Amino acid sequence: MPTWRTNGWLIHGRPVWGGAELWEKIWVAAQTRLIQIGHVDAHVATNLDEENHNAVADELTRIRNVKASDPVDPVLLKMATWAHETGGHRGNKATLEWARSRGMPITLGLVTTAQQ
């Protein structure tokens, strides 16, 4: 996403879907919370396997709201616990910073839950 922003919200010279205004809002939101975003290049099916793969990829790209009541992913919770223990038991924010600097997709909420 930083590269898209640097390039004026363009990917390969073409505007990112949704427009620059939407992506600026997403960028601002991403500064205070974990948001995972990826890009899938346009695709053309050449056989049934690729067509099925593309259908799955399309489904995965749909935006969805996550409710606070959604169950905690046990793998991410274990990762947050490990980050807390390995990072030196330094508190929520320090653990989150330590984990994110190592590419771990955890949130402050997960770190807080892991430390309880």
Mean pLDDT, each 10-residue run in order, the chain (116 residues): 88 86 88 76 64 73 63 84 88 89 87 86
Q: Which residue has the tokens 């919770």?
A: 77
For residue 16, count other CB atoms closer than 10 A to its CB.
Answer: 19
Q: Taking the model in full, what pTM does it have?
A: 0.41
